Chain A
Amino acid sequence: MTTATDIDKKKPLAGLSESGAYQKLLAFASLIALLIGFSIASPNFMQTSNMIAILQATSVNGVLAVAATLIIITGGIDLSLGTMMTFCAVIAGVVLTYLGMPLLLGVAAAIGAGALCGLCSGTFVAKMKIPPFIATLGMMLILKGLSLVISGTRPIYFNDTPGFDQISRGSLIGEVFPALPIPNGVLILFLVAIAASYILGRTVLGRYTFALGSNEEAVRLSGVNTDLWKMRIYALAGAICGIAGILIASRLNSAQPALGLGYELEAIAAVVIGGTSLSGGRGTILGTLIGALIMAVLTNGLRVLSVAQEWQTVVTGAIIILAVYADMARRKKSG
């Protein structure tokens, strides 16, 4: 009866395959359908320049959504990601523009600041047992305020740091393949996504991320220091947030301290559309990427069709509800 050997498919990346496969498929099909629909509706849509614009628009939200995915798989939520991103951008501005440090140091400072902020959130959640929603709501306001305080409520420009705007806007790929000027921001998004997939699928940190979301108490009773691992996950998500901060600062060539609020919700929306369960334990980075792309395609496509901005927002909201409903209906059916 013990048939341990008959099925032993090597799964490529635990985080990427099996779980949420159906919704990912659904999300992917929706993405394709949107692309086809919009290109039929408007000849301008399928042009390379527009496609690149879509990818460019995905990059910041995509990176943030990757961070959100990690937190959400643990069964938590992070409302501070948007303002944390801004805070990291402001820190980069302080280091590069106010202190005149070299480029790499600014980037490192932003990522470090993000990790530190994440560690704070993680401590509130894991050690002080504050519900993630509340803990990160507090962090959201703290970071929003700090960004304004540190910057003196004024944007910090990166004009003194040559090459800073190229981090997002330049195109390494375009230099090799001039026909495909994919911006670096998109490249960075994909690198972040691949790294996060790898971490989720192949490292202890990733395995515990799923385990915590699946059943935290069982993990604790297995002798695992769950608090510590949770703090690490929040710190990692914070660091990724720092990368998003660099991306947006580079794209705007400035750190805009008033920006950021609302980005976290768009990121969470992308995660949810991508099939990651808000109750934790399951989710994929690939799904999140597709989710972020769907949102970008939708916004772009509706704009190409000259639909008013207000209506774009309405449609995005409806899509989120539909996506989650489809997932729940499917889950109910499969028991």
Chain B
Amino acid sequence: MGEEMAKLVDMTGIDKHFPGVHALKSVQFDLYSGEVHALMGENGAGKSTLMKVLSGIYQRDGGSLKIEGRTASPQTPREAQDLGIGIIHQELSLMNDLTVAQNIFIGREPRKRFGRLDDVALNARTAEIFESMNLTLDPKALVGSLTIAKQQMVEIAKALSYRSKVLIMDEPTAALNDVEIAELFVIIRRLKDEGVGIVYISHKMDELKQIADRVTVMRDGEYVGTVDAADTPISQIIAMMVGREVNEEPLEVPDLGDAEISLQVSGLSRSKDIHDVSFSVQKGEILGFAGLMGAGRTEVARAIFGADPKDSGDIRVHGKPTSIKSPKDAVRAGIGYLSEDRKHFGLATGMNVRDNIALASMDLFTGSGGILNDGEIGTAAKSFIHQLGIRTPSDVQEVRLLSGGNQQKVVIAKWLLRDCDILIFDEPTRGIDVGAKSEIYKLLEELAGQGKTIIVISSELPEIMRLSHRIAVMCEGRLTGILPGGKDTTQEDIMHLATQRTAAMQVTGTAQ
């Protein structure tokens, strides 16, 4: 850090409540001019909430926020911008059909008299900013024609055009390849030299070593600690992130012996998302898929299910090679997929419970001339409502009126009715409250006990640890390892595999 160490940001005792959630519990964070301060934590640790407080999207309930020594309470992102705080969101928010310069000055376009736009000034000022970043980019290029990396540069330029002294970057490298990441780091170092303070949110451990000066770790909305990036082993940072003891009741991994292998996937690849993924699952087994967001777990599930086309890979169901080109083929082979986004991919929420349960099995209830036997649909639906304990006033209740947990059970019923014996659950408890979670867990265990094959994708490590007989870990489209379930595996073990970006990383990560 430079000799003139001015505290740009000083947050102490920050509290933030949402209805039913204590999102930030007396959190502290500070940032000096000319440093890169990494903010780490699992999904839901409160990193984004903290940064939203800093950037004026949320207002704090308690604590103090000082910017350059003066107490500040930005009420809107605009006010935060005026205080010199710029944020680059994970999802780029650029308009693809406008030019680079138009994007950067959106909402404050230079004007001539009578409200006419001054395009000459617009492009000139954009060129100036690029020059200061030492970046060669045409202000008149359409944003949509640029690579993601270049678009990110435009976002950074936009933030700088507000004369930002603080730049918050939320997972800036999520969509970049190695060369592009190197490019980004050059820009970041240059900004550092100019005294800009950078908050760097990332899950990628190896990047911390390359770019960060200090690391602050958060967990469950609490401040865990701040350490020096260069001197702290990665394993220690992971331990700080994971921290808590979660396995209340130790999972009993059943001995499946030589139970039939019901699903075998080999060499599954799909463009940039999935690289050569191979694994197999036994009858009665729960295989967990762990990994950080964007690791490619959902993509694997969708490719197996035929929802997205795959480039290569063989799938054997109960030992038989099976060609799956569409969800129809998968369902015929007895594979059911329960998407993380039930409202978009799982349920026809405007329809009633019984029709949703029957959605995959209409042919079972179709008589001659395509006439449906509604009575039979109702009987079947009611039996599942009873069996799974779906809380609904009746089988003709519209699904959108049910709670998240009960909606999930409706989707489960849909696949059970279809007689699927391989079930892929993608984030089975997302949007489901704590009480209903354990009910879903029990249900999954029962299903496995009945000889169903279960694959569970989850971003919540405790959930993975709680359920999985074996744990497959993915990172950036590759399967980086399969760990045994139960007490032999720790969250640290999983995190190591989940952040194993490159071979070099593996060395850094395990050499401690």
Interface residues of A (CB under 8 A from B): 1-9, 11, 14, 19, 202-208, 210-211, 214-215, 217-225, 281-282
Contacts and interface: CB of A to CB of B under 8 A. Distances in A.
5 contacts: A204-B363, A204-B370, A215-B343, A218-B346, A222-B359
B393 interface: yes
A273 to B, nearest CB: 21
B359 A9 contact: no
Contact of A205 (B337, B370, B390): B370
Interface of B: 305, 307, 326-328, 330-332, 337, 339, 343-351, 355, 359-360, 362-363, 366, 369-372, 374, 378, 382, 385-386, 389-396, 414, 418
Given A218-B345, A221-B305, A203 B394 contact: no
Contacts of A9: 394, 396
Contacts of B350: 19, 210, 214-215, 281-282
Nearest to A5: B382
A219 B348 contact: yes
B299 to A, nearest CB: 15
A210 B352 CA distance: 11
B33 to A, nearest CB: 48
Contact of B372 (A1, A5, A203, A222): A203
Contacts of A6: 393-394
A320 to B, nearest CB: 23
Contacts of B393: 3, 6-7
Given A6-B393, A222-B359, A215 B337 contact: no
B359 A219 contact: yes
A203 B359 contact: no
B395 A222 contact: no
Given A218-B346, A225-B328, A204 B362 contact: yes
A215 B347 contact: yes
Given A11-B396, A221-B346, 8 more contacts: A2-B389, A4-B385, A203-B370, A207-B372, A221-B337, A222-B327, A224-B359, A225-B328
A2 B391 contact: yes
10 A-B pairs with the lowest CB-CB distances in the bound complex, closest first: A223-B331, A214-B348, A7-B394, A222-B360, A214-B350, A203-B370, A215-B348, A4-B385, A281-B350, A222-B359
Contact of A223 (B328, B389, B396): B328
B360 A281 contact: no
Contacts of A223: 327-328, 330-332, 360, 418
Contact of A224 (B305, B307, B328, B382): B328
Nearest to B358: A207
Contacts of B370: 203-205
B349 A214 contact: yes
A217 B345 contact: yes
Q: Which of A1, A2, A220, A223 has the most CB of B within 10 A?
A: A223
- Most chain B CB inside 10 Å of its own CB: which residue of A1, A2, A281: A2
B345 A202 contact: no
A5 B346 CA distance: 25
B114 to A, nearest CB: 35
Given A4-B394, A204-B362, A215-B344, A220 B386 contact: no
B355 A207 contact: yes
Contacts of A219: 348, 359
A191 B472 CA distance: 59
Contacts of B396: 7-9, 11
B373 to A, nearest CB: 9
A234 to B, nearest CB: 16
Contacts of A217: 344-345
Contacts of A8: 378, 394-396
A220 B308 CA distance: 12
A14 B386 CA distance: 23
